[in-house]
Structure 1
Amino acid sequence: MKILIVEDNKIALMGIKKILSEYPNMEICTAENGLIALNLLNESESELPHFTLLDLNMPIMNGFEFLKEIKKKDNLRTMPVIIHTTSFNTLDVKMCEELGICGYFVKELDMVKYKSNIKLIADYWKEAKK
């Protein structure tokens, strides 16, 4: 299973990667902002990620801008994207839903809940891939 994580916070990224390291045969690609992620997807000659875990608040190209860009491209439009952010803002949730996301998770401060959320996402897509 291939996953793209778009996250600018290095500590959060390390945590996500550590949690996902429990899953064998999982290829993890990372990008620190939406522009880098978009370039990776456009340059990739291999299959698209099974899902993308996307932060909203990033420099250069934020999550909203990234979502808008992938919806313009036929080959990226249906790629599953799950938002993983600190934003509790209902307008952010609504805008993301309008842009076709598959899920919206708020980053938990409680590490047990944080780990549980990441594993829930990975388990769901692992089963969906079958």
Structure 2
Amino acid sequence: MRNINDPQLNLNTIDNLKTFDIVYDDSHDVFFARPSTPRPATSLDWEGEIWLRIDPETGDIVGLEIDDFESVFLKKYPALAKAWQEVKPLCHRKRTDRHEDESWESFLRIMYVFFRDFIKNNPSQSAFGIV
């Protein structure tokens, strides 16, 4: 068992992001990517922009959270903002037609590539023991 105060982040699990559900909380301007079945996790601040959720036992990435998503984060990354505007209306309802599914899948691919590159190119959390 790992000490929760000394988490070991396993970057090899970044691909988990591909399978996460996307949830946006309009009232608090918070973007979440998380598994459909909740898992215990601890949060790691990544560059002051993303909260990575990691399993304290395995170091697996089990989610992420971005506070001030539209008001701050998307303004810093306009390419993501454009993609988000296309799919935001789909975030709170069941997608029913093929066009909506294709738009959503495209958005998820864009976000996955962004987060993968952002996390791998900003290894600021080396104190947490990245593996």
Please give the TM-score of this superposition, normalised by the length of structure 2. Answer: 0.31
| Higher Cα Rg, which structure | 2
Q: Please give the TM-score of this superposition, normalised by the length of structure 1.
A: 0.31
Structure number with higher relative contact order (C-alpha < 8 Å, ≥ 6 residues apart):
2
